[in-house]
Structure 1
Amino acid sequence: MRINGPGLILTLSLAAAPIHLAAQTDSEPLSAIDWLSDVVREVPKPITNQPAPSSQDVTESASVIEVTTTPLGQIKLDAVGLLPRSTTGLPADFWTRSSAKALGMQLSDLRADLPPPLSQFLTTLLLAELPAPADSADGAEMFLARVDKFLEIGALDQAQALVQRAGPTRPVLFGRWFDVSLLTGREDAACTSMLQTPSIAPTYPARIFCLARAGDWDAAALTLGTGETLGVITKKEVDLLSRFLDPELFEGEPLLPIPDRITPLTFRMHEAIGEPLSLGGLPHAFAYANLSDKNGWKSRISAAERLTRTGAIPPSQLFALYNERTPAASGGVWDRVEAIQAFETSLKAGDPGGISTHLPRAMRAMRSAGLEHAFAQSYGPQLGKFPLTSEAQSDAIRAGLMSKDYELAANSDLPSGTPELWKRVATGQLGGARSDDALEAAVIAAFNAETPPEIFASLLSERRLGEAVIQAMGLMADGPRSDPADIERGLTLLNQLGLADVARQTALHMLLTRPRA
């Protein structure tokens, strides 16, 4: 991230939502994520044949991101992160002057489908290692809010990396670690910790699942019988767990009804008994489970497209899937696959004629699926070096301006008809610019403003920087369909706080993706 200008402040990137899971035992959960498993609802009665407790930590990482868990001493959970200030450039007091609860609530209100430049900025904020709010308590409201925002958008690797960094066996964090591990197919480490650490206090269904995963079928069956006798396992849970433990007993029986409330635990057990649940209508996080190569190619692509739109996975992961094999059908997703494969073949061959032929079609296919920005991020920087036809060159410029190399694209030879404003936004040279168009006028005014918008005056005077940035992002959540006045306010704040790079990318996204006349 580039920080431009001496501005009011240095760097910012943030977002998250206070979503408090059922891992909290002494207070009402604050979470807005109602699909999280009720893993620590109550302490189960002692169970025989369970593994002896161990004092050693589980060191096997369940995350794709390699993270070393280190003793945190007196550091508050709210201050834990993966990106140091030397990387993010964020000011030390970015969160400290605000209430942890207020920040968490504002983060939870941020939409999961922010415009891509803001979504990328949000990821940096959520991973940032910064001093906690002054009133931060052991409840870790800000930390849980950050993790839960990742869960909301389906960014499970990032959520798991944060929890792993903080210490996943902490009771307040274990439920999230368990659920993320279930959806990513890396539940062995979480189950081992559950069975080794009595203080985590899992529910009967969670313990039964983990006992079965560990191969202790007798203990799992005994636990199921005990839970049913005590009335702490519902009839629907008994039916599902019974099939999970011994599916052969139920061969020929009707399928189980779809659960009223689908959690990662019920989702995985339905998958295990051969009765997988449809992803339709389920939160983004469940789509991650379909990325596994044990699923069909089409379902993997559909899941990757969904998660790419929210910024949960990098575009490269989607395009690798597109190129995995040759489509055997046409229509819908297969048309996108064919368009990308034909384009990539020409790009790898360095064939300007082929690129000119296939680039427009690939861009249209991605645009229709809401993935134009992902295409631009992956291919935009490569397209400027090829002599292309006018139509393809126009698409190449659009892709370049939506990529992180937008300045380089703006300084190349732009084809005739390219709006001058695009280049001026990309280069930050908007002095004297004018427009009668409402969106363009808002963008121009934002970069020519000399002071922050009045609506942020109070927050900035008290240096409640995080709150101001979250609010600015929320103003622009609808992308080019946002109120032009809100776009002006949001861009102005980011630019005034030294976040010119984020502001320019956001403005370019607004201008390039606005509905065409």
Structure 2
Amino acid sequence: MARATLTLTLLCGALAGPVLAQDVASDLPPLGTPDWLSDAITRPHANVATDASVPAITVLPLDAVQLDATGLLPASITGLPEGLWGASETAVLADLMRRQPAQGLPAMLGFTETLALAELDPPRDAPPESAALFLARLDMLLSRGALEPAQAMMERAGPTDPAVFRRWFDVSLLTGHSDRACAAMNANPDIAPTFPARIFCLARGGDWSAAALSLGTGEALGQITEEEGDLIARFLDPELFEGEPPLPPDSTLTPLEFKMRMAIAERPDMTGLPLAFVYADLSVLAGWRAQLDAAERLTRSGAIEPQQWLAIYTAQAPSASGAVWDRVAALQAFDAALLAGDPVEASRRLGPAWQAMQEAGLEVAFADIYAERLMRTPLVGEAGILARRVGLLSPIYEQVAQSAIAQSTEEAFAFAIARGLPPDAATFDHSTDQAIAAAFAAEPPVHRYASYLSEDRLGEALLRASIVLARGAGSADADDLTDALVLFRSVGLEDVARRAALQLHLLRG
């Protein structure tokens, strides 16, 4: 009844006009992962061939953008060779990029994000118009909830390709730039929106009558499902549905549907949603508890910087106890002691704060923030040893190892790794430590990636090794760990190898 009332209410004031034409083309072809993208546009943007002949040469305008070569980080920053992808097949690289874990060893999360954002020459088999690797790089970032760098990379390329625009539109919705997304869609004649996207943008622009007309037309043409229609109707006029039960949960929510549910105050449960949706909870409008949960999850995936997580953690005083509140209280107490310059209190508070970080899987983020200040603070007792452990998980790991004398065999092992020296694994029977020791031996073994290097497939080898290391000590074979670490060391990525080895050693539980 409310649905019918909505249509009549909004259409009464609408001027008579032509009925919107049915979309001519079929839906977009599958785009791989992520599978939660909105069906925002209805047809691919592609040049239609007029014959089956193969052109002799390919000509591009001087200002044409090669998507597979587009990135944010030049070689001067990454230190990676521009021809990293070399002779690898584009399809293989795209698959490996999408297979990178969304969570795992922080050193590998950081390295693979650098790969995704790097300006590199396309693989040699990629045609100039190829976007396959570019899309895979975007999808890896989106799977981790790293929306800001993904959005920046799409805008650097220009989101004119529909497959790129589809992702850019969704990211814009999730980052709070809905009006901008709709303006870009309306201004681009090559982008044909689906009915739900068209209705959403009409409503955002204040044209409620046209939105209601599009809803009725879309349903009549079978372009809007019953579930979509119920949600859109509530979005257009939520007052008509006051007193009615909320919509049932949707396990296949898209960003467009997510945005409409948020607009009608039916916030979905974030527990099972992809990390890209969690990004919306970083806003102060979500409430502090939701912000805390989002900050923890996105920090673990490497999607946000540790300082952003810390800012949310220290924004207010916890008003309850248990779970995240206890972690916040422990961190804030330690932070206050360190800011006050009280080494005794900081020593007392460091242990509980570190335990809280271990519970949340945020040890490396904590180390990135506090390691340097801890090294300048004269801590007492066991806190001094713990501070060095924290320092070894931070970017100043080598400085920590060079400025202290090891107090245990475990610390001596870690110090050797931090210096890039062969560690003594004789007293360690854990397979991970044995694997690390083999990789840092004076004469490391020949690794299984040698053939990739000889065939000019360095980037492919690094992606394969990253998957092995990202899984961590509990999921990878010891020989696989050794080979992956040796690869990184052999091609000059020593810092990545050392940080990965230290994290494998110190974080395995």
Question: Which TM-score bucket, shorter chain as reference?
Answer: 0.7 to 0.9
Q: Please, which of 78, 82, 95 is the counterpart of residue 92 of structure 1?
A: 82
Say how many residue pairs are matched. 465
Closer, same or farther in 2 for the Cα pair 1:436/1:242, shift >3 Å?
Answer: closer
Cα shift at 1:449: 6.2
Q: Which residue of 1 aligns with 2:32?
A: 31
What residue identity is the alignment partner of 1:479?
A: G
Structure showing greater Rg:
2
Q: Please, which of 218, 227, 236 is the counterpart of residue 209 of structure 2?
A: 218
Q: Which residue of 1 aligns with 2:22?
A: none
**Counterpart check, 1:316 vs 2:317:** no
Range with greater deviation from structure 2 (434-443 or 247-256): 434-443
Cα shift at 1:444: 1.8
Contact 1:154 1:288 (C-alpha < 8 Å) held by counterparts: yes
What residue identity is the alignment partner of 2:416?
A: R
Q: Which residue of 1 aligns with 2:283?
A: 292
Q: Please, which of 173, 178, 190 is the counterpart of residue 199 of structure 1?
A: 190
Closer, same or farther in 2 for the Cα pair 1:388/1:72, shift >3 Å?
Answer: farther
Separation in structure 1 between the aligned mates of residue 130 and residue 229 of structure 2, nearest angstrom: 33
Q: Which residue of 2 aligns with 1:58?
A: none
Q: Please, which of 420, 423, 434 is the counterpart of residue 428 of structure 1?
A: 420
Closer, same or farther in 2 for the Cα pair 1:212/1:460, shift >3 Å?
Answer: same
Q: Which residue of 1 aligns with 2:111?
A: 121
Separation in structure 2 between the aligned mates of residue 366 and residue 196 of structure 1, nearest angstrom: 47
Separation in structure 2 between the aligned mates of residue 104 and residue 132 of structure 1, nearest angstrom: 12
Superposition RMSD in Å: 1.9
Which of structure 1's runs of 4+ aligned residues deviate more than 4 A? 24-27, 431-436, 449-452
Separation in structure 2 between the aligned mates of residue 232 and residue 474 of structure 1, nearest angstrom: 41
Closer, same or farther in 2 for the Cα pair 1:40/1:452, shift >3 Å?
Answer: farther
Contact 1:452 1:493 (C-alpha < 8 Å) held by counterparts: no
Separation in structure 2 between the aligned mates of residue 27 and residue 215 of structure 1, nearest angstrom: 28
Contact 1:453 1:493 (C-alpha < 8 Å) held by counterparts: no
Cα shift at 1:454: 4.3
Cα shift at 1:479: 1.3
**Counterpart check, 1:444 vs 2:437:** yes
> Percent identity between the aligned chains?
50
Q: Cα deviations across residues 171-217 of structure 1 (Å, max 9, x unaligned)?
A: 23111011111111112211101112221111110111111111111
Q: Please, which of 386, 392, 403 is the counterpart of residue 395 of structure 1?
A: 386
Separation in structure 2 between the aligned mates of residue 436 and residue 363 of structure 1, nearest angstrom: 24
What residue identity is the alignment partner of 1:38?
A: D
Determine helix, strand or coil for the equivalent of 2:461: helix
Determine helix, strand or coil for the equivalent of 1:150: helix
Contact 1:449 1:492 (C-alpha < 8 Å) held by counterparts: no
Matches within 5 A, 1:506-517: 506-515=500-509
Separation in structure 2 between the aligned mates of residue 101 and residue 510 of structure 1, nearest angstrom: 31
What residue identity is the alignment partner of 1:371?
A: L
Q: Cα deviations across residues 346-390 of structure 1 (Å, max 9, x unaligned)?
A: 111111011101011100000011111111111112111222122
Determine helix, strand or coil for the equivalent of 1:134: coil
What residue identity is the alignment partner of 1:468?
A: A
Separation in structure 2 between the aligned mates of residue 439 and residue 231 of structure 1, nearest angstrom: 57
Q: Which residue of 2 aligns with 1:107?
A: 97
Higher RCO (CA < 8 A, seq sep 6+):
1
Matches within 5 A, 1:2-21: none
Cα shift at 1:169: 3.2
Separation in structure 1 between the aligned mates of residue 497 and residue 330 of structure 2, nearest angstrom: 32
Separation in structure 1 between the aligned mates of residue 330 and residue 144 of structure 2, nearest angstrom: 27
TM-score normalised per structure 2: 0.88
Q: Which residue of 1 aligns with 2:70?
A: 80
Cα shift at 1:29: 1.9
Contact 2:27 2:43 (C-alpha < 8 Å) held by counterparts: no
Q: Which residue of 1 aligns with 2:469?
A: 476
Matches within 5 A, 1:153-164: 153-164=144-155
Q: Please, which of 253, 259, 271 is the counterpart of residue 262 of structure 1?
A: 253
TM-score normalised per structure 1: 0.86
Contact 1:393 1:415 (C-alpha < 8 Å) held by counterparts: no
Determine helix, strand or coil for the equivalent of 1:29: coil
**Counterpart check, 1:466 vs 2:459:** yes
Contact 1:154 1:312 (C-alpha < 8 Å) held by counterparts: yes
Q: Which residue of 2 aligns with 1:40?
A: 41
Contact 2:313 2:328 (C-alpha < 8 Å) held by counterparts: yes
Contact 2:439 2:485 (C-alpha < 8 Å) held by counterparts: yes
**Counterpart check, 1:142 vs 2:133:** yes
Separation in structure 2 between the aligned mates of residue 474 and residue 460 of structure 1, nearest angstrom: 18
Closer, same or farther in 2 for the Cα pair 1:25/1:126, shift >3 Å?
Answer: farther
Range with greater deviation from structure 2 (34-43 or 325-334): 34-43
Separation in structure 2 between the aligned mates of residue 176 and residue 224 of structure 1, nearest angstrom: 24
Uncovered stretches (5+) of structure 2, i.e. residues with no partner: 1-24, 45-60
Matches within 5 A, 1:238-277: 238-277=229-268
Cα shift at 1:34: 0.9
Range with greater deviation from structure 2 (111-120 or 476-485): 476-485
Determine helix, strand or coil for the equivalent of 2:284: coil
Separation in structure 2 between the aligned mates of residue 301 and residue 501 of structure 1, nearest angstrom: 31
Separation in structure 1 between the aligned mates of residue 401 and residue 208 of structure 2, nearest angstrom: 64
Matches within 5 A, 1:52-67: none
Separation in structure 1 between the aligned mates of residue 132 and residue 27 of structure 2, nearest angstrom: 14
